[in-house]
Amino acid sequence: MSNTRNIAIGGILSASILIILYLASILPTSRLFLLMICSIILAVIIIEVGIKAGWLSLGTTFLLALYFAQNKSIVTLYALFFGLYGILKAYIEGVIKNLYIQYILKLLFFNCDLLILYYLATAFAGNIYNNVFHYAWWIVYLFLLAAFIVYDYALTAFISYYYKHIKGKI
């Protein structure tokens, strides 16, 4: 693969991530769906160009989106969860062949990342989250865990589809 092709693919797909992040920051609905689309596009960058390009794309889109996007929390959620998970998923599934260990590492990432995002949210929003989730925190946690498992399954299904039907045609 030529460097020109890799730069072009990485640049075009990173620009599309930036546009979608901007839309996610201004639209009142579908924000999580748009962040998932960004994660899928980042997975395509990793498949087509490589993991280093994925890191570069994550960093540049995060920094540029911080400048352009109106809602910085959406951009932070992209960088700390959706973008980072796509890259770590590639590492985990590329290096470790045991499915049980893969899921343990993915769930470990989810729990650590959720804890970081929770503390960031309470640091910036104050005690709002503590008051809302004081008694029902485990229900929220189980819902988020189920959503993460569905998200991982959907991302894996897309990556499998991409390898079978699209890779090599771009």
Mean pLDDT by 10 residues, the chain (170 residues): 88 96 93 96 96 96 94 93 95 94 96 90 70 72 94 96 88
pTM: 0.90
Cβ neighbourhood burial of 164 (10 Å; 0-12, 13-18, 19+): exposed
Q: What domains can be seen in the chain, in order of their start residue?
A: 3-166 (1.10.1760)
Give CA–CA dist 117/149, Å, rounded: 18
pLDDT score at 169: 79
Rg (CA), the chain: 17
25, 74 Cβ separation under 8 angstroms = yes
